[in-house]
Structure formats: C-alpha cells, structure tokens
Amino acid sequence: MLEKTLKQLPNLPGVYKFYNDLDQLLYVGKAKILKNRVKSYFRFTPSLSKATNLSPRISKMIDEVAKLEYIVSSNEYDALILENSLIKELKPKYNILLRDDKTYPYICLNLEEKYPRFEITRKIVKNSKIKYFGPFANGSRDILEALYLCFKLVQKKSCIQGKRTCLFFQIGKCLGPCEEKISQQEYLNIVQEAKNALVDRKKLILKLNEKMQLASSMLNFEEAAKLRDMQESIKKSLHVIELDLAKIENFDLLAIEFEGNVASFVFLFIRDGKVISNITKIVKNSLDFEINELYEKALIQFYKTNIYNIPKAIYVADTFEGKEELSQYFSHKYGYKIQINVPQKGEKLALCNVARENAKENLKNYLSNHQDDIQNEIQKFFDLAKRPIRIEIFDNSHHSGDSPIGAMVVFEDKFLKEDYRIFNLQTKDEYSQMREVLSRRIEKFHENVAPDLWILDGGATLLKLAKELLEKANIHIDLLAISKEKHDAKANRSKGKAKDIIYTKDLSYKLQTTDKKLQFIQKLRDEAHRFAIHSHRRKKSTKDLSSDLSQIPNIGPSSIKKLLSYFGTFERIYSASLEELEGVIGEKKAKEIFFFVTK
C-alpha cells in the first residue's frame, strides 16, 4: 500500500503525512515537488527500505511508517502554511514543535489622537500614524507605568472622555488637557520627551532614581521600594549589546544554539542603526532539534503575528535549508521584498557573533541548572510516548452547582501563569464539567498548541473520557489522572501523608509518599486545585458585588460600566474615596455609592 502511494505521487507542491500501522499521525512535511521530496526518504532497490542519509529522528520515524497521505496545494506558499497549521493542531509525534509561540508585547502610541497615550498591545495594525516600540520580552508594564509616573500624560483613556479634570489633575499627575488647560502642542512636546525616554530607557531609569531618592528622603520607604523594583525590571529590558551601526538601517537578526532537545534563541531588533530591543528564550522539544527546522519554525512563528512590523532584511547566524523559499514566502505574504541572509563580514557578522555567544551562554546556564530531570523519570516509569515538556493540568470548582468554573494550569519548567485559563461552565455534574472543559480546550488547539501531557484531577473514569475525546479529534496526547486519597470523606492533600492513586490508560499506581514522581504530580494537581478554587471564589464575589452595586438607586449598567473602565475591578470601586468616585460619575451618584459602601 505504501509503495503504491509512493509511485502515485505528483510533480506538484503540497503537504504529506506519514502514519504508523495504528493509523497514528507520525509526521507532516511540505514539498515544492511532492514526488521528489517524499521519495528522498526511501530506497527502492532491491526492495523498499529507508534511505541511508537520514537524521536519527527521521530514521526512527521511517521505521514506523505504514501509510502515506498527501494534499496537493496551488503553490509552495500554501503548502508551508498548511504544514504549520497541521503540525500545530495535530501535533505529530516526530515533528519539531516550538511551543513558545506567544506574541510579545509592544508599547504603541497613536498619533491620530488629539492627546495620544502610550499603551501596551500585542496586535500590530497597518497605520503610519501608530508608532510601535519593542517587542519586549519582559518589563513592558513597568516601563509603561514609569512613563506615566515620570511624565504628565493623560493617565487613563476614560480621563479624556470625561471632558473635565479628574483626580489625576488634582494630584498633579496630569495637566488637564480635557479642559484645555494645556495646548495640544505643549502636550505633544511632553509626549516627545516620553518617547525619547522610551527609546533611551537609561533616561527613564534616572528619572525613577530621582523619584526614589525623594520618596526615601520623605521616609516613604514603601514607595521608594516600589520605584527601586521598577528600575530593576526596566534594566532587565535593556539590550546588552552596546553597538551602533555606522549605517542607518532597519533589520532583525536571529541566532540559535541547541543541544539535544533544548535550544537557545537570541533575537535582536535594529532600527535606525541602533539595537533597540532583544528577546532571549529557551525552548524545549520532546525530540532532538535540527538546525534547518529550528530556523524555519522560529521565523514563521515569530512573524506570523507581527505582519506589519517585519523589516525588509532578516539576518541569521547560520544558513539553513529552505532559506530562499522562506524569503519568497514572506515577500509574497507581506507584499514587499524580504530577504533572509547570512552575513559574511563587517558589522552585521560581528553582531551575529555577539548574538551567537549570548545564545551559547544562555544554553550553558540553562543546562547547568536542569540536570535532575523529573520529566524523564515520569516518561519512562509511566511509559509515555514523549518526554512531557509542556503539561496542562485540569480541575473544576463550584459550590452546590453555583458559579461552576473549569481551571487549566500550565507547567513548562515552571508554572506559566500567563497561560492559565478559566472556563465558565454551564453543566453541573463533575463528569459533564470535565467533558465541557476538555472539549473546549481541544477546539482551541489550532490557536494554542496541544501539550505533551494532560493531568486530570480525578480517577479512571475522567481519564477514559479524555481518551475518547482525543481519539475522536484524531490527536494523541499522553494522559495521567490522579485521584485524591480521602479520610472521612475529605480529600487529604498533605504532601507527606497523601497516598493518591495515579492512573494511566492501562494501569494504576499507588506510589510511596516519598516518591519524587508522585510529589511532582501532586504539586501540579494542587496548583490546579488552588487556581480553580481561587477563580471560583473570585467569580462568585464579582457576581455578588455587581448585584449589590446595581441595587443602588440611580446606578444603572452605564454607570457601572464607566466605573469598571476607570477602576478595573469591583473591589477597587468599593475601596475608592468619595473624591475618586466624583471624578468618574459626578457628585450625586458618587455620594450614593460611597454612603452605600460605607454602611
């Protein structure tokens, strides 16, 4: 069957998929000419066998291949997009998958506004009047807060809509453009100063240091400590490469170093001949990396969300197979010529070498701190298909069926709180709730890639449910479930005393309480449980607070919406002073809310 399909391959671009004898997807690849690319994996004489020039990973994959399918595309660009989409959604066993595909934040400034403000965004739109600064791997929120602390800008979007001065004017943080107490040009001059400090963040740090010294001299040590921490955060966002190019140019640069299944990336962003920001990150894979796929996947993944901020030149520290095709793909997709080159001499080569050395150092530091690998032990002991790099853990919480929520926490070397998710549920019983949560998570695999392992807070029944849902979606993820030991009908979560049962698809295990594998899984389960309970209480509290607020005379949905827009949460509304409330909704309504709350 396989040999027959191989002989039928067309001389057209497309995507091919290899399956094993259990009909599980092993690998997805793209090809300019399907016939040539797929046949390169095999020898046909004296009989069909695998080629001898394959990498260890691909060689092992070909040993398992029993079936081949392919999809013809209209051109190689469509094939590349389809390949990446299928890899992300179906998560084939032997494909390299870079899970750290988050979009990095920018600080933007919309100059179309009469009184523009700095804001954080992860979405870039095509508009010459909107200026973007970044991207930032860390520190973006502290930088933004520092800008509003050091410069008398419009502090909140709702301020300018109020048409009258608010608390920020009264405490000297704003100059009152809403009542035209400052001219538009004077305000834009302040914005320009803030822009200069954003580009040269050492100026911002100096201003923060002055404020910290002042706060300290006035014995306001809490504020001084906050300003100190803010400075440290901003210092981390500063690029470490003090190199200005002789020529004013815009380009990005990427260097990658890897060892086994761990890779270190260093992105540099050069604008007007200056290194304005950088991103360094470590990514891991269940299988060993290869340089060709690493560069291709890293570039596609990073620029998929930065569609209007991609420069005309991208430099890479190493050449890689598919570089020319990727250049053509970016040019075709974004409507102007984009070149991917490896510098051979001069300042760009020097910059590449510096980036490479940083990548090597980051990789060395990471590996030296991650020798004791519990994930390897878990893979071997529970006979998992892959080393569980990224793990998602699920739990549900409700009180007598009221305000039910599902919680998902994510672990990848550490708990990734920015990837935690809350699911507001409609169902009441535990089984239906877990079905609802897992089904909704599966629906989002095309946006947020599937993990290596799911851990469920529950027993064999819920694990069987997860297995059925994944099989229906034709997706393979390793599964574990942990059931809480109970004493007197109450769960015992004590790390030293709990004797929880761990379930796999076929077996169950009751490990010693001192076993590191059990303790690791318990730690993950307990974090999911903590997050679920916290989220449930918060949802119920918000529901109660909203209900209380709506009972106040003359306070309708529009007033509540305005208050939330300004304060952010109901808790902050309830703790606001009378003056703060007056600045948002006027004296009469503010007094009604204030007196209601203080009762």
The pLDDT of 97-103, averaged and rounded, is 63
**Residue limits of CATH 1.10.150.20 in the chain:** 551-598
| Domain 551-598 falls under CATH 1.10.150.20 | yes
pLDDT on residue 495: 47
Look at 549 and 593; give whichever has higher pLDDT.
593
Q: What percent of the chain has pLDDT over 90?
A: 31
More confident residue, 17 or 243: 17
Higher pLDDT, 26 or 102: 26
* 3-state per-residue secondary structure call for 302-336: HHCCCCCCCCCEEEECCCCCCHHHHHHHHHHHHCC
* CATH 3.30.420.10 placement within the chain: 251-368
Eight-state DSSP code of residue 448: S
Q: How confident is the model at residue 593 (pLDDT cuts 50, 70, 90)?
A: confident
Which has the minimum average pLDDT: 90-99, 151-160, 493-502, 577-586? Answer: 493-502
pLDDT at 56 over 50: yes
Question: Is the pLDDT at 308 greater than 50, yes or no?
Answer: yes
Place of tokens 């290869």: 290
Q: Where in the sequence of the chain do the CATH 3.40.1440.10 domains occur?
A: 2-90
At 33 the pLDDT is 93
Statement: residue 547 has pLDDT above 70: no
Considering only 176-190, 286-300, 455-469, 541-555, which range has the smallest mean pLDDT?
541-555
pLDDT of residue 244: 53
Q: Does the domain at residues 377-536 carry the CATH identifier 3.30.420.340? A: yes
Nearest CA among 79, 71, 49, 68 for reference residue 6: 68
HSE-up of 174 (CA within 13 Å, CB side)? 21
The pLDDT, as a whole number, for residue 67 is: 93
For the 2-90 domain, the top CATH level (class) is alpha beta
Express as a percent the part of the chain with pLDDT over 70.
89
Where helices occur in 151-200 by DSSP H, the ranges are 157-161, 167-170, 184-199
pTM, 2 dp = 0.63
CA distance 341 to 316: 6
- What residues does 265 pair with on adjacent strands? 256, 281
Taking 60 as the threshold, does the pLDDT of residue 304 lie above it? yes
> Per-residue pLDDT tens for 335-365?
889 999 999 988 899 899 989 999 999 999 8
On whether the CB atoms of residues 194 and 151 are closer than 8 A, the answer is: yes
Decide: helix, strand or coil at residue 2: helix
Question: Looking at residue 402, what is its pLDDT?
Answer: 64
Specify the domain boundaries for CATH 3.30.420.340 within the chain. Answer: 377-536
241 pLDDT more than 70: no
251-368 CATH: 3.30.420.10
pLDDT higher than threshold 80 for residue 124: no
How far apart CA 285 and CA 449 sit, in angstroms, is 13
